[in-house]
């Protein structure tokens, strides 16, 4: 059954509640892991347990027994599945055959158990011994025409220890080509905040939510993507803290929420109302809306003048630009009326401590960096950084994407970092900046013979321009995927391809000195330990650090590093991290504490590591989006049953969709203009100015409450429409939230 009117059918029912309990149970049953999976769930986010492999929302310090959510449970169930993808599976299914399967099917086949190779000209993956696999990587890297033909991709589940060794490996090889999923995700936050407040991270801690007098949630859908955040918002709502949402879609999770653990004492089934204000701008118009709020603040002379004078620069230029931005423009661009924007501004003005949270609705735009800087302007105007209950909160995606960056997964490292790394490991790291994700795609597509190594993730589907990315991967001399589960990236091989299966978070990682713990950093700069307790699904699996060490030992340039020593006890890797990155102080003792420790965040102490030593107001351009007649703004979103490219199920409960993913959510008037009815089958055509045809078909039209001229579809099915060149100025983040498309009935 699917919804066919223009309001999400699930609205009116609170998010989570019984649905979440049922969803958890179903995920465990589907993965045939009811016993194992449930036991594993008891260890999630507990001291001496493992970090939830789901999102990067922090754990409260005094956790209750069940510190996980429905979607965390799905991630754990997916890991602890009793199903296996072994050599017999690969003997039965050719690569050609597997390419005809949906991602959902690939994911459901279970855990990878053996290292596998697809030899040049081969039709099937075959088992390969670890030593031979490592040797082939070493040989392929040695054969490259230049060091920069090697690309080392990372996805954000990788632990600090594995990530640190991996960036070392890339740099010892001789390149800074370390594209990562952050390039596709929060890069605009890093770049925008770096320039505004001198650090590319958020400034708040979990405790701040208890002290906040207003909370803004912009371009984020926590009900699905950070469900534990709803508990925090619920507590805030209950004590009367206003919650202002800015989002073109009315997301059920932000309207009302019932905590699954309270189901039994809220027999009425009524949830807590969350959003007190819900503004629904057209996609891509946030800068205009934020400028409207700032205009109001200036008009009412509500700025924190003392803070502005002593801590910032650039206010006057920013204010002068506001004068040039008329309310007419603001209202036309956003489609939101002036009164609603002024009300949101008045809520902001009335609060003396405000937190602004945001995610992909802000960062994945051509003006993603501007969006972030407009948010920073708003915060700085009233001194809302560096005091209790206030600050910037970019809510990260993957559970350790922030930590990976901290320990060196970056294509533009600083000179200081490189010097310290070189000193600690006795080599001269390369200085040339490397490729971010989109540049890696362009490089692979333009020239054959690269070696592409992926530490986790699903580059083939997570990336924009799916066809171009596949061409790039096919051009490679060797592709290597370090993975837990089968995915599309294994089926877009280079001339030769390797699958290296690794341990997952919940599993025992046994090395020479005994079982190991790893560390991760959450969205609020807290670093803590994670230790698995389950028996791995196959004795052949290696940990991610051990796989990096195996590759290192096969590389002549890396021979001077004692990889076995480092991997024998991960505390030795942490010692090296501490030596290279001064932010880490007493690392080992820090992670012995329940809840771990927080990395120093200078901006939250009002110390601004910018060029001028002050926080900076930026003049940002007001977007004037003028698309050719008939074009719609497509924004790509996650369903409730997926983790990025991993599809757990075919439903999207809060949006009322069941059993399908090729859906285009459209405004009813836009449908009428085109003679389209709910249920019609559509072809979607993306930009083609660069001469490439971008098309996907078989999408079912669904009337939905979206602003005019905007429409939404799920990633990764819509990724073939996202041009690699359509990306944020300054951060190269693909414009996944505003792709000009045309729709045709077929």
To Mo ion, the closest distance from the beta carbon of 185 in angstroms equals 3
Q: How many CB atoms lie within 10 A of CB 331?
A: 18
Residue 487's binding partner out of ligand MGD, Mo ion, none, with CB under 5 to 8 Å set by partner kind? ligand MGD
| Angle in degrees, CA 511, 517, 520, rounded to 5 | 135
Which one, of 301, 304, 300, 291, lies nearest residue 341 by Cα? 291
Closest CB to ligand MGD among residues 108, 272: 108
Give the Å distances, CA to CA, from 599 to 203, 210, 408, 419, 571: 11, 21, 15, 21, 18
To Mo ion, the closest distance from the beta carbon of 363 in angstroms equals 9
Kindly compute the dihedral angle of the four CA atoms of residues 668, 102, 499, 225, in this order, to the nearest 10 degrees: 40
To ligand MGD, the closest distance from the beta carbon of 388 in angstroms equals 26
To Mo ion, the closest distance from the beta carbon of 372 in angstroms equals 15
**Burial (Cβ within 10 Å: 0-12, 13-18, ≥19) of residue 312:** buried
Q: 356 and 378 in contact (C-beta within 8 Å)? A: yes
Closest CB to Mo ion among residues 200, 389: 200
Residue 604 CA to residue 598 CA, distance in Å, equals: 12
Residue 472 CA to residue 685 CA, distance in Å, equals: 22
Residue 134 CA to residue 140 CA, distance in Å, equals: 10
Closest CB to ligand MGD among residues 277, 606: 277
Residue 256's binding partner out of Mo ion, ligand MGD, none, with CB under 5 to 8 Å set by partner kind? none
440: left (phi over 0), alpha (psi -120 to 50) or beta: alpha
Closest CB to ligand MGD among residues 567, 637: 637
To ligand MGD, the closest distance from the beta carbon of 184 in angstroms equals 4
To ligand MGD, the closest distance from the beta carbon of 111 in angstroms equals 9
Closest CB to ligand MGD among residues 295, 737: 737
To Mo ion, the closest distance from the beta carbon of 699 in angstroms equals 24
Which one, of 42, 649, 51, 49, lies nearest residue 401 by Cα? 51
Residue 677 CA to residue 694 CA, distance in Å, equals: 24
Residue 287's binding partner out of ligand MGD, Mo ion, none, with CB under 5 to 8 Å set by partner kind? none
To Mo ion, the closest distance from the beta carbon of 178 in angstroms equals 16
Query: Tokens for 290?
Result: 């934020």
Decide: helix, strand or coil at residue 268.
Answer: coil
Closest CB to Mo ion among residues 24, 644: 644
Closest CB to ligand MGD among residues 435, 737: 737
To ligand MGD, the closest distance from the beta carbon of 506 in angstroms equals 9
Closest CB to ligand MGD among residues 173, 490: 490
Residue 456's binding partner out of Mo ion, ligand MGD, none, with CB under 5 to 8 Å set by partner kind? ligand MGD
Which one, of 272, 269, 278, 268, lies nearest residue 257 by Cα? 272
Residue whose token pair is 């990260």: 396
Q: How many CB atoms lie within 10 A of CB 428?
A: 12
To ligand MGD, the closest distance from the beta carbon of 538 in angstroms equals 14
Closest CB to Mo ion among residues 185, 331: 185
Closest CB to ligand MGD among residues 247, 272: 247
Residue 635's binding partner out of ligand MGD, Mo ion, none, with CB under 5 to 8 Å set by partner kind? ligand MGD
Residue 354's binding partner out of Mo ion, ligand MGD, none, with CB under 5 to 8 Å set by partner kind? none
Give the Å distances, CA to CA, from 561 to 12, 512, 514, 552, 555: 60, 17, 22, 8, 10
Query: Tokens for 126?
Result: 């075959």
**Residues in a beta bridge with 638:** none
To Mo ion, the closest distance from the beta carbon of 192 in angstroms equals 16
Interface contacts to Mo ion, rule CB under 5 A: 185, 397
CA dihedral sign, ordered 44, 46, 47, 48: negative
Interface contacts to ligand MGD, rule CB under 6 A: 54-55, 71, 155, 157, 181, 184-185, 218-221, 224-226, 246-249, 251, 283-284, 286, 359-361, 364, 397-398, 455-459, 462, 482-485, 487, 502, 504-505, 544, 635-638, 642-646, 715, 718-719, 722, 736-737
Residue 736's binding partner out of ligand MGD, Mo ion, none, with CB under 5 to 8 Å set by partner kind? ligand MGD
Closest CB to Mo ion among residues 185, 739: 185
For residue 422, is the peptide bond before it cis, meaning its omega torsion is within 30 degrees of 0?
no
Residue 608 CA to residue 602 CA, distance in Å, equals: 7
Decide: helix, strand or coil at residue 589.
Answer: helix
Q: 502 and 484 in contact (C-beta within 8 Å)? A: yes
To ligand MGD, the closest distance from the beta carbon of 733 in angstroms equals 9
To ligand MGD, the closest distance from the beta carbon of 358 in angstroms equals 8
Query: Tokens for 501?
Result: 């299966």
Closest CB to ligand MGD among residues 311, 365: 365
Which one, of 81, 157, 112, lies nearest residue 645 by Cα? 157
Q: 718 and 636 in contact (C-beta within 8 Å)? A: yes
Decide: helix, strand or coil at residue 35.
Answer: helix
To ligand MGD, the closest distance from the beta carbon of 396 in angstroms equals 7
Closest CB to ligand MGD among residues 319, 437: 437
3-state per-residue secondary structure call for 289-320 = HHHHHHHHHHHCCCCCHHHHHHHEECHHHHHH
Closest CB to ligand MGD among residues 249, 341: 249
Closest CB to ligand MGD among residues 248, 391: 248
Closest CB to ligand MGD among residues 46, 155: 155
Residue 458 CA to residue 488 CA, distance in Å, equals: 7
To Mo ion, the closest distance from the beta carbon of 715 in angstroms equals 10
Side-chain half-sphere CA neighbours of 546 within 13 A: 17
To Mo ion, the closest distance from the beta carbon of 221 in angstroms equals 13
Residue with the CB atom nearest Mo ion in the bound state: 397
Output the furthest CA–CA distance in the chain (Å, rounded): 72
């Amino acid at each position: 059954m699917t919804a066919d009117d223009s309001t999400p059918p699930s609205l009116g029912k609170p998010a989570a509640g019984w649905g979440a309990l049922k969803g958890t149970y179903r995920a465990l049953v589907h993965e045939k892991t009811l016993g194992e999976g449930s036991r594993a769930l008891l260890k999630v986010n507990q001291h001496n347990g493992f970090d939830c492999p789901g999102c990067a929302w922090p754990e409260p310090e005094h956790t209750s027994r069940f510190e996980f959510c429905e979607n965390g449970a799905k991630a754990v169930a997916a890991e602890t599945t009793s199903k296996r993808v072994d050599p017999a599976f690969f003997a039965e299914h050719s690569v050609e055959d597997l390419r005809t399967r949906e991602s959902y099917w690939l994911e459901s086949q279970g855990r990878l158990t053996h290292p596998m190779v697809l030899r040049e000209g081969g039709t099937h993956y075959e088992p390969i011994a670890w030593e031979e696999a490592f040797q082939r990587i070493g040989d392929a890297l040695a054969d490259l025409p230049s060091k920069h033909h090697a690309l080392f991709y990372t996805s954000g589940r990788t632990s600090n220890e594995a990530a640190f060794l991996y960036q070392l490996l890339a740099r010892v090889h001789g390149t800074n080509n370390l594209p990562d999923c952050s390039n596709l995700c929060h890069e605009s936050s890093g770049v925008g905040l770096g320039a505004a407040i001198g650090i590319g991270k958020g400034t708040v801690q979990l405790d701040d939510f208890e002290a906040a007098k207003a909370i803004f949630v912009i371009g984020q859908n926590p009900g699905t993507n950070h469900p534990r955040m709803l508990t925090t918002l619920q507590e805030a709502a209950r004590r009367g803290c206003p919650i202002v949402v800015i989002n073109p879609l009315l997301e059920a999770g932000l309207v009302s929420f019932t905590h699954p653990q309270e189901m039994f004492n809220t027999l009425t089934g009524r949830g807590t109302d969350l959003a007190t204000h819900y503004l629904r701008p057209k996609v891509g118009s946030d800068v205009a809306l934020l400028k409207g709020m700032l205009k109001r603040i200036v008009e009412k002379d509500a700025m924190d003048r003392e803070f502005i004078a002593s801590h910032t620069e650039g206010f006057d230029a920013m204010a002068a630009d506001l004068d040039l931005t008329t309310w007419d423009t603001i209202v036309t661009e956003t489609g939101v009326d002036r009164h609603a924007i002024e009300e949101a501004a008045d809520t902001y003005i009335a609060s003396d401590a405000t937190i602004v949270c945001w995610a992909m609705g802000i960062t994945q735009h051509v003006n993603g960096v501007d969006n972030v800087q407009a948010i920073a302007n708003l915060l700085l105007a009233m001194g809302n950084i560096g005091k209790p209950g206030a600050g910037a909160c970019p809510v990260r995606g993957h559970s350790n994407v922030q930590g990976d960056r901290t320990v060196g997964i970056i294509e533009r490292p600083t000179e200081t970092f490189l010097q310290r790394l070189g000193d600690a490991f006795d080599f001269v790291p390369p200085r040339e900046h490397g490729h971010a994700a989109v540049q890696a795609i362009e490089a692979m597509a333009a020239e054959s013979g690269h070696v592409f190594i992926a530490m986790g993730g699903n580059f083939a589907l997570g990336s924009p321009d799916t066809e171009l990315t596949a061409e790039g991967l096919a051009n490679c001399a060797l592709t290597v995927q370090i993975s837990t589960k089968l995915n599309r990236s294994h089926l877009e091989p280079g001339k030769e391809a390797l699958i290296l299966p690794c341990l997952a978070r919940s599993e025992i990682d046994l090395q020479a000195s005994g079982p190991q713990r790893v560390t991760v950093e959450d969205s609020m700069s807290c670093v803590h330990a994670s230790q698995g307790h389950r028996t791995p699904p196959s004795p052949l699996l290696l940990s991610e650090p051990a796989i990096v060490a195996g590759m290192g030992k096969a590389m002549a340039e890396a021979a001077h590093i004692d990889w076995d020593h480092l991997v024998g006890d991960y505390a030795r890797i942490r010692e090296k991290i501490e030596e290279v990155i001064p932010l880490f102080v007493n690392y080992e003792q820090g992670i012995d504490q329940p809840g771990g420790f927080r990395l120093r965040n200078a901006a939250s102490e009002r110390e601004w590591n910018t060029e001028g030593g002050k926080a900076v107001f930026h003049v940002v351009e007001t977007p004037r989006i003028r698309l050719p007649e008939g074009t719609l703004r497509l924004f790509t979103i996650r369903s409730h049953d997926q983790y990025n490219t991993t599809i757990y199920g075919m439903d999207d409960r809060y949006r009322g969709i069941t059993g399908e993913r090729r859906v285009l959510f459209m405004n009813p008037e836009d449908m009428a203009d085109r003679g389209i009815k709910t249920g019609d089958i559509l072809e979607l055509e993306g930009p083609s100015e660069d001469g490439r045809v971008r098309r996907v078909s078989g999408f079912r039209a669904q009337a939905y409450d979206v602003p005019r001229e905007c429409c939404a579809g799920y990633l990764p099915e819509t990724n073939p429409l996202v041009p690699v060149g359509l990306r944020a100025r300054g951060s190269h983040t693909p414009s996944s939230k505003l792709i000009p498309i045309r729709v045709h009935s077929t």
